[in-house]
Amino acid sequence: MKWGIWGAKFNTAAYDRMIRTCLERGVTTFDHADIYGDYTTEEEFGAVLKQDPSLRTRLQLVTKCGIQKVSPQRPMHKIKSYNTSFTHIIESVETSLENFGTDYVDVLLLHRPDVLLHADEVAKAFTHLKEQGKVLHFGVSNFKPRQLELLNSRMKVEVNQVQCSITHLEPFTDGTLDQSQQHGIIPMAWSPLGGGSLFTSEEDERALRIGAVSSILAETYGVTPDIILLSWLLTHPADILPVLGTTRPERVTAAAAALDIRLTREEWYMLWRASTGKEVA
């Protein structure tokens, strides 16, 4: 999301360097959405794949659809709205395939819950795309358990990408991660470090508590506090996959260290207590 005009404004060479750095570090999945960069980032990323088609076999593409954003790239959109109709899903995927210069995406997610979502129609679209080989796996993003359960009653939902971090505990308590374990759904965590504000705030008591505990654990494990907070997510039995938002190659390299750390239960709850400000009941 932050590689294009919404952030670092990478040119093709910068995209190429970042993609190759990720692959060298064993990070092979790239998270997109059609709307990123006001509908420009998929195509910018795809320019690298078109230059070197061999890269496509080394990586997995995740993309999302369902948000209709007001943008110069989409002059037909009069207001921001959601669209999970059969026609919109199919058209969105066809556009994404053209942008990436590929004939399939590995994972397609519905970007947001749609009040007008028709579960049978969505399942029909997903089935159609899978039969054509244009999408291999399907999921949702930002869905609550009951919303996901509706769609899962019509088809297999394989991924749920939600906001989840030491400062956003709702998925731990609202049934999202329980549901992931129950149905074998992969939970992806966007903003896994709480947007980075934890490391800049000097007045927020919660941030100070979390910073103090993560610093102590970081010294124990010989890493930086942000790596501890990634390992905190990775320690959970739902097998949470953090979605890194970095634009810096060195941060990708550093983050990989979290894969080798598993906190003890007491260490995990030390951070939970720091976040909630109280002992568990």
8 Å CB contact between 210 and 167: yes
Quick one: pLDDT at residue 82? 98
Active-site hit among 15, 36, 39, 221? 36
- Both 1 and 130 in one domain: the answer is yes
CA gyration radius, the chain: 19
Q: Please state, in angstroms and rounded to a whole number, the distance separating the CA atoms of residues 241 and 246.
A: 15
Domain edge (last residue) among 116, 144, 172: 144
Which CATH number characterizes residue 276's domain?
Answer: 3.20.20.100
Residue 84 has pLDDT above 90, yes or no: yes
Same domain for 109 and 20: yes
Cα 260 → chain centroid: 21
The torsion of the CA quartet 251, 256, 257, 263, rounded to 10 degrees, works out to: 110
**Nearest residue to 58 (alpha-carbon basis) of 89, 27, 37, 35:** 27
Of 35, 46, 2, which Cα lies nearest the Cα of 190?
A: 2
pLDDT at 266 over 90: yes
CA 96 and chain centroid, separation: 17
* 112, 17: one domain: yes
Helices (H), the chain: 12-24, 36-39, 41-51, 86-100, 119-131, 145-152, 170-173, 176-183, 205-221, 225-235, 249-255, 265-276
For the segment 103-146, what is each residue's pLDDT rounded down to a tens digit? 999 999 999 999 999 999 999 999 999 999 999 999 999 999 99
| Same domain? 279 vs 166 | yes
Q: 270 and 131 in one domain?
A: no
Identify whether the C-beta of residue 258 lies closer than 8 Å to the C-beta of residue 234: yes
Position 202 scores a pLDDT of 73
pLDDT tens digit string along 159-193? 999 999 999 999 999 999 999 999 999 999 999 99
**Same domain for 203 and 134?**
no
**Is a pLDDT exceeding 90 seen at residue 196?**
no
Overall number of domains in the chain = 2
Residue 215 pLDDT > 90:
yes
Catalytic residue list contains 36? yes
Say if residue 119 is in the same domain as residue 168: no
Domain that holds residue 133: 1-144
φ and ψ of 82, to 5 deg: -115, 145
Q: pLDDT tens for residues 97-108?
A: 999 999 999 999
